Amino acid sequence: MAPKYYTVTWDQLHRDSKALAWRLLERGPWRGIVAITRGGLIPAAIIARELDCRLIESVSIVTYDDEKRGEPHVAKRPSAAGDGEGWLIVDDLVDTGTTARVVRALLPKAHFATVYAKPAGNPLVDTFITEVSQDTWILFPWDTEPQFVAPIARSLAK
């Protein structure tokens, strides 16, 4: 079965990230935010603005090569966040939970928030906005470009 795709626009990502900030506001205040690179950088920036948080750290876990999953590798540690006490971890998506498990081990006391969550990774996250099915591949705005698509009727006529 071919994977399903769900396209997220810049506007939608902004709205969903802001909705996540609303949920996180009552759980703060936060000492700082740890953005999981690369996908968590933009949601973290939006959330940092909305929560008026100026201390931003990053963690880089390399797991994917395009759409192919590999073994996780910590490329950059979030040294300023210590054990995560009082810190907020932000990512765009929790999928299988591979990255989340690694980051949780690095920052066991942090609060983990994602904009989108799939069922396999959902239990590893403290707060999220939208759940999508496990077989859905989310196309984020930084991964896509607008282009012409033939009408549905034309594609069915073949």
Q: Pick the catalytic residue: 65, 83, 91, 135?
A: 91
Is 66 a catalytic site residue? Answer: no
**Residues in contact with 72: Cβ distance below 8 Å, sequence separation at least 6, in sequence order:** 61, 62, 63, 98, 99, 101, 102
Cα angle 87-30-32, degrees, rounded to a multiple of 5: 55
Is 126 a catalytic site residue? Answer: no
**Residues in contact with 129: Cβ distance below 8 Å, sequence separation at least 6, in sequence order:** 16, 19, 20, 23, 114, 115, 116
Is 83 a catalytic site residue? Answer: no
Q: Pick the catalytic residue: 92, 126, 135, 143?
A: 92
Q: Pick the catalytic residue: 95, 126, 135, 143?
A: 95
Catalytic residue ranges: 91-92, 95
